[in-house]
């Protein structure tokens, strides 16, 4: 069973999730000479989509530069209030297990050996191609229970879908 979200998340929550996702990217050990490096890399160039299907996308961007050297990139894919963090040591990446028809906000930041992080390149809002043309079945008739002066709870027989049921709109 999938959870049903009943209220939208704020932009502040989305930004907080983005910060946590970005902070979760950890690269390997730093060279000793990088300890004195306090200069962050330049922002990578804009993200370009080189291949896409209903559940994956391949991205590329122009490399960051740094006074010591760029060792990798932190890539994030945010959807509403959830996100995923990826890392790569090249200027391309293939993101998989994305959901059809969802709009993701993608960003890339350069990382150097000392752990300095560039500002992110301009984000890319990308809507994945649709992958499901069959609508879910109609849910059962709503039944009110636990009624109060300013609140009412509803229950109904769930819908079924050939892929995944995302949410109910009441």
Nearest to 120 by CA among 37, 29, 18: 18
In the chain, which residues fall in CATH 2.60.40.10? 11-29+40-127
Per-residue pLDDT, 132: 76
DSSP letters, 102-168, are -EEEEEEEEEETT--BPPPPPPEEEEPPP---SPPPPPPPPEEES--SS--EEE-PPP--SS-----
What pLDDT score was predicted for residue 76? 95
Consecutive 10-residue averages of pLDDT for the chain (170 residues): 43 48 42 71 96 95 94 94 92 94 94 93 92 86 91 93 81
Distance CA 81, CA 136 (A): 24
User: Which CATH number, 1.20.1440.230, 2.102.10.10, 3.40.50.720, 2.60.40.10, labels domain 11-29+40-127?
Assistant: 2.60.40.10
Global pTM? 0.62
DSSP 80: T
d(CA 3, CA 95): 24
């Amino acid at each position: 069973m999938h959870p049903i979200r009943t209220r939208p998340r704020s932009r502040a929550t989305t930004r907080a999730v983005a910060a946590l996702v970005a902070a979760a990217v950890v690269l390997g050990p730093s060279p000793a000479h990088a300890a004195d490096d306090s200069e962050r890399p330049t922002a990578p160039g804009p993200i370009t989509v080189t291949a896409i299907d209903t559940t994956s996308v391949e991205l590329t961007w122009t490399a960051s530069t740094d006074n010591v050297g760029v060792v990798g990139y932190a890539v994030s894919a945010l959807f509403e209030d959830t996100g995923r963090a990826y890392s790569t040591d090249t200027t391309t990446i293939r993101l998989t297990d994305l959901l059809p028809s969802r709009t993701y906000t993608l960003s890339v930041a350069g990382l150097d050996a000392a752990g300095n992080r560039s500002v992110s390149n301009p984000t890319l809002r990308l809507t994945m191609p649709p992958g499901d043309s069959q609508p879910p079945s109609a849910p059962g008739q709503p039944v009110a229970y636990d009624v109060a002066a300013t609140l009412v709870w509803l229950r109904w027989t769930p819908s079924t879908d050939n892929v995944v049921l995302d949410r109910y709109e009441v």
